[in-house]
Amino acid sequence: MNTKNTAIILVDHGSRRKESNQLLLEVVEAYRQHADWQIVEPAHMELAEPSIATAFARCVERGAEQVVVFPYFLGPGRHWKHDIPALSAKASKACGNVEFRVTDPLGLHKLILQVIDQRIAAKICDFGGAI
C-alpha cells in the first residue's frame, strides 16, 4: 500500500468532555510519530469535531486517493458495524467517491493483554505491593 496517497483516520465515539476528545488527539499524534503514513487525521463519530466527514475531506485535500478508517473502539458494536461505515460512505461520496475501508476495532489482541497487565500492575503498586 502506498503511504503517500493512503490516509488513515482514527475515529472514536466523541464526547462533550474536552479531556476525552483531547485523548484522541494525543493518540493520533503518537501514531503519526510511530507510523510511516503521511496523512493521519482524528475524527469523532459524533458529539465533537472533527467529524468523519471533516477528517475525510482533510485527507482528500492533502492528496489521499484511498482512506483507511480505524475505529478506536474496544469491541465490535453497532457503531463499528453500521454507523462508522455509513458515515465514511457518506464522506467518501462527498469527496468524489474516494475508496475507503473500515478496519476491525482493537478487540482481543495479544498486546491488549499486555496493556491490561500494565494497568493492573500500576494499581497493585499503589497498594504498596509488588508483582
Q: Which residues carry out catalysis? A: 13
Do 43 and 50 touch, CB atoms closer than 8 A?
yes
Helices (H) and strands (E) counted in the chain, each on its own, are 5, 4
Q: Work out whether the CA dihedral 74, 80, 83, 88 comes out positive or negative.
A: positive
Q: Amino acid letter at 7? A: A
Helices 52-61 and 84-94: crossing angle in degrees, nearest 10, is 40
Q: How far apart are CA 57 and CA 23, in angstroms?
A: 22
